[in-house]
A and B are shown apart, each in its own frame.
Chain A
Amino acid sequence: MTGIVVLAVAVMAALGFGLYRRTRDGRFAADAAAGDGPTTPTTPTTPAWTAILAAHPDGELGERATLVQFSSAFCAPCRATRVVLGGIAEREAGVVHLEVDAEKHLALVRALDVRRTPTTLILDAAGRELGRAAGAPRRDQVLAALPA
Chain B
Amino acid sequence: MTGIDPRGPRFTAAVTALIVAAALVIPSANLSALLMFIQGAFFAVGAYAGVQYTPTAVLFRRVIRPRLSPPTELEDPRPPQFAQGIGLVFAVVSVTGYAIGPVLLGQVAAGLAFAAALLNAVFGFCLGCELYLRGLRLKERLA
Which residues of A are in contact with B by a Cβ distance under 8 Å?
A: 2-4, 6-7, 9-11, 13-15, 17-18, 21-22, 72-76, 79-80, 102-103, 106, 109-110, 114-117
Q: Can you show 30 pairs from A to B with CB atoms below 8 A apart?
A: A2-B103, A2-B104, A2-B107, A3-B23, A6-B24, A7-B24, A10-B112, A11-B115, A14-B115, A14-B118, A14-B119, A15-B118, A17-B119, A18-B118, A18-B123, A21-B123, A21-B125, A22-B123, A72-B132, A73-B76, A74-B82, A74-B126, A74-B129, A76-B76, A80-B73, A102-B133, A106-B136, A110-B137, A115-B133, A116-B130
What separation, in Å, do the CA atoms of A106 and B133 have in the docked complex? 9
Asked if B32 is an interface residue, CB under 8 A from chain A, the answer is yes
For chain B, the bracket of interface size reads 35 or more
* Interface members, chain B 71-108 (any A CB < 8 Å): 73, 75-76, 78-80, 82-83, 103-104, 107-108
What separation, in Å, do the CA atoms of A116 and B79 have in the docked complex? 13
Q: Contact check, B76 vs A3: say whether CB atoms are below 8 A apart.
A: no
Least CB distance from A108 to B in Å reads: 11
Query: Contact string, B104-143, partner A, CB cutoff 8 A, digits 1/0?
Result: 1001101110111011001111101110111011001000
Asked if B25 is an interface residue, CB under 8 A from chain A, the answer is yes
Q: Contact check, B137 vs A72: say whether CB atoms are below 8 A apart.
A: no
Q: Contact check, A106 vs B137: say whether CB atoms are below 8 A apart.
A: yes
Residues of chain B within 8 A (CB-CB) of A79 are 73, 75-76
Least CB distance from A107 to B in Å reads: 8
Name B's interface SS: helix
Residues of chain A within 8 A (CB-CB) of B15 are none
Residues of chain A within 8 A (CB-CB) of B130 are 116
What separation, in Å, do the CA atoms of A3 and B79 have in the docked complex? 29
Minimum CB distance partner of B116 in chain A: A14
Task: Name the residue in B26, B82, B133 with the highest tally of chain A Cβ atoms < 10 Å from its Cβ.
Answer: B133
Least CB distance from A87 to B in Å reads: 14
Which 7 A-B residue pairings sit nearest by Cβ, starting from the closest?
A6-B111, A3-B24, A18-B123, A14-B115, A14-B118, A10-B115, A74-B82
Residues of chain A within 8 A (CB-CB) of B140 are 106, 110
Q: Contact check, B129 vs A75: say whether CB atoms are below 8 A apart.
A: yes
What separation, in Å, do the CA atoms of A134 and B129 have in the docked complex? 14
Q: Contact check, A76 vs B80: say whether CB atoms are below 8 A apart.
A: yes
Q: Contact check, B114 vs A10: say whether CB atoms are below 8 A apart.
A: yes
Asked if B6 is an interface residue, CB under 8 A from chain A, the answer is yes
Residues of chain B within 8 A (CB-CB) of A3 are 23-27, 32, 107, 110
Residues of chain B within 8 A (CB-CB) of A114 are 133
